[in-house]
Amino acid sequence: MKKRCFLITAFAILFFPFLTLAQNLDENNKWARTWTNFAPNKTDYPQAEEKLPNIIANNTYLRNDVVYLLSGDVYVVNNASLTIQEGTIIRCDHENPANLIVTKGSKLVAVGSMAYPIVFTSNKGPKSRNSGDWGGITIAGSGKVNTVSGSGIIPGDYKPQFSVYGGNQYNEETTILRYVRIEFSGNSIKRKQGSNGLSLYGIGTSSIIDNIMVSHPGQDAFNIHGGKNNIRNLISLKAQGNDFQFSEGFKGNLNNIIAIRHPYINSSKGSYAIAADGYDKNMGYTNPSSVTDVTISNATLVNLSDKSNYQHTASAILTSNLATLYIHNSKISGFSDVVKFDNSYVSLPKMQKAFMMDNSFFNIHGEGVDVVNQSMKKQSLNILKYNRFTKNFVDVNDLFSNPLSNVVPKFDLKQSLNTYMVMQ
């Protein structure tokens, strides 16, 4: 009798996480309803009425009864706060590509709501907007970055006096961003180093970032350098660059993130749903404990691929320069592999220490792990154990309930999770 009880207990311990996974993964992303827009090129936004100045040196309030034009580089300086009312629309110039740069010591407060999100979008008309029409939003904070100097310069040839970031104010409040959409950003024509949808440099723990959607960026959707913060409810839609890029020692937890990629939309440098870079080789780092360390829960990373085009996809995740990444309770589908390691991970123990994924599901067409040292490839697959997976690659439409919806795509599995294999 004792032996039977032991077996039942052991079975429960082994498979209880997958019961939880089945319950969690098949729930719709309810938080992504109402405020999002999965077909922004069809939306007829009102024309801009008032142009913002290129230097905002005093506290400024943008009202939702005015449509604003952002043209060229607009800097928030002199410890000023730019506050944006819910429901405000900011049209962003494509002829003189717009960038909003919130400099160190200044603040951006953009608090939308589910009913009235704040929208930054191209000033082109419906059906004529393109990835990279304008630059993006860049915010410089005074939080810790793991460079030798403890600071850095925002790339992209911005005005030098407004480009410094980093410091020792770990708990600073650089920004409050809630219910914000950023559409058709990522211009790389105006300057050699292109802008991303939302770039965060050295943000502190008191900053609040949640419910942000970046659609059709020509560069990265979210690019985070250093700092420390817990962020939730982020969506990246059809980025040319990486969906979520972490570097320079960023430390934090991300909960509820969605990356929707397309096999024909990629950067020539290579694009990933998640790219975690432990440190900048050109800037160095202070000690091994200061490398990028991110925990991600409830991620949906989907490449909209099928058997006719999946050969154009890469790994879902790239880890480089000793970055540490933990993925929990997530779905990964449509990519070649789950994770790719660069040559900084010289042994299997280093990989196992740097990357962990559990209680998750994946559908890929490769072996699962891509490593530089091929002699470690077979053993490296143990990194994915105790996750469920498809035995053979499944097309996106066959796997999910409604992945191509222009309202809110649904990534519920059509079949019960228990029908899939378990990596052991």
The domain 20-422 having CATH identifier 3.30.1360: the answer here is: no
Residues 193-206 have pLDDT tens digits of 779 999 999 999 99
| Bridge partners, 222 (sequence order) | 198, 244
User: What are the structure tokens assigned to 365, written together?
Assistant: 């067409």
Asked whether the beta carbons of 67 and 89 are under 8 A apart, the reply is yes
Contacts of 201 (CB under 8 A, 6+ apart): 138, 139, 140, 141, 145, 152, 154, 165, 166, 225, 226, 227
Sequence ranges of the domains in the chain: 20-422
Q: Give the closest residue to 46 by CA, choosing from 85, 95, 89, 86.
A: 89
E strands along 238-338, which residues? Answer: 244-247, 251-261, 274-277, 293-303, 317-320, 324-328, 331-335
The gap from C-alpha 249 to its chain's centroid, in whole angstroms, comes to 16
Asked whether the beta carbons of 237 and 215 are under 8 A apart, the reply is yes
Integer angstrom CA distances of residue 67 from 50, 62, 212, 416: 7, 9, 20, 47
For a pLDDT cut of 70, what percent of the chain falls above it?
Answer: 93
Residues 101-145 have pLDDT tens digits of 999 999 999 999 999 999 999 999 999 999 999 999 999 999 999
User: Stretch 238-261: mean pLDDT, rounded?
Assistant: 97
pLDDT of residue 28: 60
Confidence of residue 14 (pLDDT cuts 50, 70, 90): very low
Sign of the C-alpha dihedral computed for residues 64, 66, 72 and 78 taken in this order:
negative
DSSP string of 171-231, one letter each residue? T---EEEEEEEEES----SSSSS---SEEEES--TT-EEEEEEEES-SS-SEEEES-B--E
pLDDT of residue 284: 74
Confidence of residue 27 (pLDDT cuts 50, 70, 90): low
- The mean predicted confidence, pLDDT, of the chain is 91
Asked whether the beta carbons of 207 and 109 are under 8 A apart, the reply is no
Q: Is the pLDDT reported for residue 240 higher than 60? A: yes
Of residues 399 and 27, the one with the higher pLDDT is: 399
pLDDT of residue 179: 98
Q: Is the pLDDT reported for residue 90 higher than 80? A: yes
Distance CA 238, CA 185 (A): 12
